[in-house]
Structures are given as structure tokens and as C-alpha cells.
Amino acid sequence: MAITTDLVSSRQLAEGGSGEIFQLSRREAGWEWMSFSVRRLQPGESYSAATSGEEAAFVLLGGQCDADWGQGRRAIGKRKNVFDGLPYALYLPTGNRVTFTATTACEIAECRVPSEARRPPQLVTPSDVASYLRGGGNVSRQIVDIMPPAFLADKLMVIEVYTPGGNWSSFPPHKHEVHNPPAEVDLDEIYYYRINHPEGFAFQHLYSSDGTQSRVVKAQDGDAVLVRSGYHPVVAGPGYDVYYLNFLAGSARALAVTEDARHVWVRSTWKETDSRLPLVR
């Protein structure tokens, strides 16, 4: 059954449980590129994945595990959760296999896109990512580039974003729905949310460039928002720090976007960066 909504929620596992928290196939999403899942492992449990005609990115959301992708077992993971530090991630091109064996409870986000490109597998460690601040005032946020356009992958790009409570993100609003390089490229995008409080939330405004469509979705911990087209700014509920994991793929390996010209002026009001940032180091 195809998913027609833009908001998809995780399933709840019992305390100490394991298995898939989230699963969304390309067919269910009704788009060409990405499949996405999140899996929880308890200590001693293993998960194996193979890539055939696809490339995949595995982001360790939290916990520690041993990973073996044909180069021997490697201990990976440091942060307890996404608010506890910078990530480990693994990129696997087509024709590869990996086994993760949990040493602590851990959660792994996995995104796949069709690809026949031959690339080397690559482990991304906290020392490999680029972390920087963007915006100013109440539009300040922290960006963590895991697999940016310069990363040696075929289609997938991966980014983490941290937005302090009450702040805006993905602002000024931008879109990436038209293949018109170098100005803009057509990208589908996943926003996978984690929030630092069970009652926390974010609002995301999804609206079309021609003004015919407008929808506000409320995202809570474990929700995913599917950005198919249009502008898509985010605001974090006051008091609730918001994390989202972005996966992007589409017509070109670039983050070329068009901003909503009506809101670009806001940049001129930005002064100091929010002193709460960075949220993770």
C-alpha cells in the first residue's frame, strides 16, 4: 500500500525490545529513490545487510557495536544517543555486505537508493564529519555533514541537524524540486526526527512554490517527514531541542536549492549565533 501522507511514525518497542522501529520502502513512499529503516539491537544481537543494485548508508544513532564489512570486525559507536555526540556511519556501495553485532543497546538508521556505481566502502567516524553553525539569532542551528556532495558516493547525501528549542531551521525556506543545475536540482528528502523529551515536538511547514498547497505537520520523537517537493522550514517547540537526520537523493549529487525570495530578507536581521550552540561536540 502506498503511503500518501507526508508524516510517518515509528512503531513502539517494549522496554528492552529489539527489531525494526521504522520501515519505509521506495514503493510505499511512492518515489523513485530512497528506502529507509531504523533498527534497534540489544547486546549480543546481530543484523546483516547486503547491497545488490543499491548503495546504502548506515548511521549509528546511539550505542556501540562491532561492524564487519569484509575488512574484519571494527568496534564503532561512542554516543549514547543523538544528543550525546557526533556520529559513526558506514557507506556501502552495491555488491557488499555488513554485519553489525551490538555490544550495548544500539540503534541504526539505514537508507538505500538504486545504484550500480562501484565505490569503496567507507567508514565515517566522528573525526571525519564536519560540524558547523548556520544562521543567527532564533534561526541558529548546528549542521553535521556526514556524507556531503564531496563524499565519494553515487547518489546518497547524509546530514544531521540540531535545532535548539524555539529556533527555526531549514530557513529561509528552500526547495529542490526542479532539475536546473547549477541553480537547483531535484532531490527527495527524508527528515527523521529525534527530540530530547517525550512531550517534545517540531512543526514543519510544507508548501508549494505556486501557493496552491500548504500543510503544517507536527513531528514528534521517531517521526519521519517525507519532502517530495516545495518549501519545508522547521521550528522546534520551545524547551525541546530537536534533531533530524536528513537523507537526500535525486537528479544530481549537489545541494543546489532555490530559496523563497519573500523570506530571504530575514538574513539581514541575524546577529549573534545562539549561545546554546553547539548542542553536540
| pLDDT score recorded for residue 32 | 85
Output the DSSP codes for 48-111.
Answer: EEEESSEEEEEEEEES-EEEESSS--EEE---SSTTSSPPEEEEE-TTEEEEEEESS-EEEEEE
- At 21-50, the pLDDT tens digits run 999 999 988 888 999 999 999 999 999 999
Nearest Cα residue to 49 out of 111, 7, 106: 111
- At 159-180, the pLDDT tens digits run 999 999 999 999 999 999 999 9
- At 224-242, the pLDDT tens digits run 999 999 999 999 999 999 9
d(CA 266, CA 273) in angstroms, rounded, equals 14
The domain 13-269 having CATH identifier 2.60.120.10: the answer here is yes
Specify the pairing of strand 234-236 against strand 106-114: unpaired
| pLDDT score recorded for residue 30 | 87
**Mean pLDDT (whole number) for 93-118:** 97
Output the DSSP codes for 135-191.
Answer: S-GGG-EEEEEEE-TTSS-SS-EEEEEEE-TT-EES-S-EE--S-BTTTB--EEEEE
Residue 4, φ and ψ in degrees, nearest 5:
-100, -15
DSSP-derived letter for residue 216 is E
| pLDDT score recorded for residue 3 | 60
Give yes or no for residue 1 having a pLDDT over 60: no
d(CA 149, CA 6) in angstroms, rounded, equals 25
d(CA 26, CA 247) in angstroms, rounded, equals 13
Q: What Å distances lie between residue 3 and 7, 9, 41, 63, 73, CA to CA?
A: 9, 12, 27, 31, 38
Specify the pairing of strand 214-219 against strand 157-163: unpaired
| pLDDT score recorded for residue 15 | 85
Vertex 160, ends 231 and 29: CA angle to 5°? 55
CB 162, CB 141: distance < 8 Å:
yes
Percent of the chain with pLDDT over 90: 91
What is the Cα gyration radius of the chain? 18
d(CA 245, CA 61) in angstroms, rounded, equals 9
Here the cell at position 177 is: 524540486
Nearest Cα residue to 107 out of 72, 74, 80: 80
**Mean pLDDT (whole number) for 262-275:** 95
The strand order across the sheet containing 35-41 reads 19-24, 35-41, 106-114, 54-62, 88-92, 122-124
| pLDDT score recorded for residue 2 | 52
d(CA 129, CA 127) in angstroms, rounded, equals 6
| pLDDT score recorded for residue 216 | 96
- At 212-224, the pLDDT tens digits run 999 999 999 999 9
